[in-house]
Structure 1
Amino acid sequence: MSDTVSPQLGQIVKILRGRDLNKYAVIIAIVDQRFLWIADGDKRKFDQPKKKNLLHLQLQDVISQEVVNSLLETGRVTNGKLRYALNKFVETQQMEAPTQEGE
């Protein structure tokens, strides 16, 4: 596999395959080398996460410390915290993306 970066708990991923194509989610558990459990706190709640193949995800350079701390302390994370982490990430992405309005 060309991508040698290993996924981390709390890391934000972009979904590349399936029903949730191009949506973002947070890694809430790592099964093994190939599979992860992801949730977004909205369509995919913490209690009903989606098992995804790592090859179907694009790892982002952002890890939500709030999510990681919550998972390490209590073994769970609230759906609100997942939504907050994703919203914060998306807002940051939009601010960094160059705007196309001037054309």
Structure 2
Amino acid sequence: MNKEVTLQVGQIVKVLKGRDAGQYAVIVSMEDSRFAWIADGDKRKFDGAKKKNVLHLEPQPFISSEVVNSLQESGRVTNGKLRFAVSRFVSDKSKADQKGD
């Protein structure tokens, strides 16, 4: 069962395994096809990004353009932008859930 998951930098993911299970984070870089580095700007800062197996991440249909642009311009992203991207996604998702999506 090798499902090829395409993840992109700036994409929001839900952590499925480990200490952060159930939480959302942003992909800040891809190591290779098996590992991604994630951060949420809060508990997991950009400078302390966590390396996660992509099979332990559930990609969400949301890519933060602010994060992508910042990483392309400077190779870094502020923790505030990461927090903003995650909180915006979570608030959008909860609105969609309330509508009975």
Q: Offset of 1:75 from its aligned partner? A: 0.2
Contact 2:34/2:54, CA 8 A, preserved across alignment: yes
Deviation string for 1:7-46 (max 9, x for gaps)? 1010000000000010000000000010000000000000
Question: d(CA) in 1 for partners of 2:29 and 2:69?
Answer: 13
Question: d(CA) in 2 for partners of 1:47 and 1:94?
Answer: 29
Contact 2:10/2:68, CA 8 A, preserved across alignment: yes
Indicate the RMSD between aligned Cα atoms, in angstroms: 1.3
Q: What is the identity, as a one-letter code, of the residue corresponding to 2:53?
A: N
Q: What aligned pairs does 1:3-42 form with structure 2 within 5 A after superposition? A: 4-42=4-42
Q: What is the identity, as a one-letter code, of the residue corresponding to 1:66?
A: E
Structure 1: where are the runs of 5+ without partners?
A: none
Q: What is the identity, as a one-letter code, of the residue corresponding to 2:80?
A: G
Moved over 6 A (4+): none
Q: Secondary structure at the residue paired with 2:25? A: strand
Structure 2: where are the runs of 5+ without partners?
A: none
Q: Please, what TM-score do these two structures have when normalized by structure 2?
A: 0.94
The match for 2:73 is 73
Question: How many residue pairs were aligned?
Answer: 99
Question: d(CA) in 2 for partners of 1:80 and 1:21?
Answer: 22
- Which one has a larger percent helix, Structure 1 or Structure 2? 2
Q: Please, what TM-score do these two structures have when normalized by structure 1?
A: 0.92
Structure having the higher Rg? 1
The match for 2:46 is 46
Question: d(CA) in 2 for partners of 1:19 and 1:99?
Answer: 30
Question: d(CA) in 2 for partners of 1:6 and 1:55?
Answer: 11
Question: d(CA) in 1 for partners of 2:15 and 2:60?
Answer: 11
Q: Offset of 1:98 from its aligned partner? A: 3.2
